[in-house]
């Protein structure tokens, strides 16, 4: 089988965490797996010998006018010999090639790529739920049409949360084609000790792509009056310069530290050195990063959006706050730092919840669907 993804290590993000785990798990179950990913030019000749499956890297910096045709041309010889295709990204291209070759495929949907594009390009300020309503913007409607046409060609659609299952149904996919399979993660065998670059009494952390919907600016605003609290920001993205300017304007350079991109192992090591993990996003399918924080035993504060409440149950496995509420975030941070026994209680409860998010179940359910669709044995 072939797994196609838009991001793969050293990229960061949910699919970059998910695809290697699933590909290796399927390989361990006896399936022959090839991963095809778009990559930055400097990673095209990377050393992928650590993986027990072939990794084919395609240049994502091809001119946008030709990029889709380039991807389709490169995908075709691999998809032609596959029993089944598992699309985790490049879904339009996967759909076109599979239709041409009459190949069955399964789509993994972790969010709304049309909404992400519209936010990045300034076409909308709506949140994901509001964005699902009809639009008069021809650009949005064009990309919605492309997305829907592609996904409706998939034999099955896998989503990581019940929230996303409802979103995808709204795109015209029949409910019996959609399966919820919770994501799971596998921690590295060894997580090294890494010194936390913050020197404050308390350290809180956020991580992920620095994009508008993560609202890291509101976390900076929340911790600004808390003189003994430092913020570690792990990741990189389009918002970094704006966030760095905010830090300078608030004169927080000695309490806010940007690490840039880190490997999963480095991220987990830094996470272990912090008191609290914060996810202040307004858009999540089912956040891998929260699973990682829970597995590392770090108390989580997160916004109650998307699929996050399926992980973070308020005052049980963590704290849920409304979006765009830095004052509430600040008070919850203070509460957890002043009453560490609460955080311990939440992390203990989270460990029990994680029994439902185990790798074995995820791989078994995923393999069953791929076998049903492709007749893979």
What is the structure's pLDDT at 13?
A: 79
Q: Strand 276-279 and strand 256-260: pairing?
A: unpaired
Gap between the Cα atoms of 24 and 362, Å rounded: 13
Cβ atoms < 10 Å from Cβ of 199: 10
> ∠ at Cα 144 (143, 150), nearest 5°?
90
Q: Above pLDDT 70, what percent of the chain?
A: 99
Q: Give the three-class secondary structure for 179.
A: strand
Instruction: Please state at what angle helix 326-338 crosses helix 216-223, rounded to 10 degrees.
Output: 60
Highest mean pLDDT among 18-27, 43-52, 184-193: 18-27
In DSSP terms, 365 is beta-bridged to none
Among 293, 329, 330, CA closest to 311: 293
Lowest mean pLDDT among 114-118, 174-178, 191-195: 191-195
Gap between the Cα atoms of 252 and 267, Å rounded: 22
pLDDT at 294 over 70: yes
Gap between the Cα atoms of 35 and 279, Å rounded: 30
Q: Above pLDDT 90, what percent of the chain?
A: 86
Q: Strand 105-108 and strand 178-180: pairing?
A: unpaired
Average pLDDT over residues 316-320: 97
Chain-centre distance of CA 227, in angstroms? 32
35-69 pLDDT, tens digit per residue, is 999 999 998 987 788 899 999 999 999 998 899 99
Main-chain phi, psi angles of 213, to 5 degrees: -75, -5
Residue identified by tokens 């010998």 is 49
- pLDDT band of residue 184 (cuts 50, 70, 90) is confident
Q: Give the three-class secondary structure for 63.
A: coil
What is the structure's pLDDT at 81?
A: 95
Is 102 in contact with 84 (CB distance < 8 Å)?
no
pLDDT at 377 over 70: no
pTM of the predicted model as reported, rounded to 2 decimal places: 0.88
Six token digits for residue 299: 């108390």
Domains and CATH numbers, the chain: 2-184+358-374 (3.40.50.2000), 202-356 (3.40.50.2000)
What is the structure's pLDDT at 118?
A: 95
Instruction: Please state at what angle helix 359-374 crosses helix 14-28, rounded to 10 degrees.
Output: 70
- Spatial neighbors of 47 by CB under 8 A, at least 6 apart, are none
Q: Strand 105-108 and strand 156-159: pairing?
A: parallel
Q: Give the three-class secondary structure for 136.
A: coil
Gap between the Cα atoms of 157 and 285, Å rounded: 14
What is the structure's pLDDT at 87?
A: 97
Six token digits for residue 333: 């941070």
Cβ atoms < 10 Å from Cβ of 252: 16
What is the structure's pLDDT at 64?
A: 84
What is the structure's pLDDT at 376?
A: 56
- pLDDT band of residue 280 (cuts 50, 70, 90) is very high
What is the structure's pLDDT at 188?
A: 83
Q: What is the mean pLDDT of the chain?
A: 94
């Amino acid at each position: 089988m072939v797994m196609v993804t838009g991001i793969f290590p050293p990229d960061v993000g949910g699919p970059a965490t998910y695809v290697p785990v699933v590909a290796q798990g399927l390989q361990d179950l006896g399936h022959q797996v090839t991963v095809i990913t778009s990559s930055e030019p400097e990673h095209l000749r990377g050393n992928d010998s650590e993986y027990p499956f072939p990794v084919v890297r395609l240049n994502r910096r091809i001119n946008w006018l030709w990029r889709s045709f380039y991807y389709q041309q490169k995908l075709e010889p691999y998809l032609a010999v596959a029993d089944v295709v598992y699309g985790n990204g490049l879904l339009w291209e996967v759909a076109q090639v599979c239709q041409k070759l009459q190949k069955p495929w399964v789509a993994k949907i972790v969010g709304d790529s049309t909404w992400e594009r519209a936010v990045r390009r300034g076409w909308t300020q709506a949140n994901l739920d509001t964005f699902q309503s009809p639009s008069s913007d021809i650009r949005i409607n064009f990309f919605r049409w492309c997305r829907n046409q592609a996904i409706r060609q998939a034999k099955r659609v896998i989503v990581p949360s019940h929230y996303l299952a409802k979103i995808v149904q709204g795109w015209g996919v029949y409910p019996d084609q959609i399966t919820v399979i919770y994501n799971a993660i596998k921690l590295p065998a060894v997580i090294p000790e890494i010194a936390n670059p913050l020197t404050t009494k308390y350290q809180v952390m956020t991580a992920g792509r620095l994009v508008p919907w993560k609202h890291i600016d509101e976390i900076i605003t929340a911790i600004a009056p808390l003189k003994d609290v430092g913020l570690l920001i792990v990741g990189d993205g389009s918002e970094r310069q704006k966030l760095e300017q905010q830090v300078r304007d608030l004169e927080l350079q000695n309490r806010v530290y940007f690490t840039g991109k880190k490997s999963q192992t480095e991220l987990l090591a830094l996470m272990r050195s912090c008191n609290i993990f914060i996810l202040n996003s307004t858009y999540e399918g089912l956040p891998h990063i929260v699973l990682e924080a829970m597995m590392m035993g770090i108390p989580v504060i997160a916004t109650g959006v998307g699929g996050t409440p399926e992980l973070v149950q308020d005052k049980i496995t963590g704290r849920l706050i409304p979006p765009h509420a830095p004052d509430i975030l600040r008070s919850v941070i203070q509460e957890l730092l002043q009453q560490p026994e609460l955080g311990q209680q939440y992390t203990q409860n989270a460990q029990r919840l994680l029994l439902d998010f185990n790798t074995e179940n995820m791989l078994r359910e995923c393999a069953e669907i791929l076998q049903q669709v492709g007749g893979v044995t």
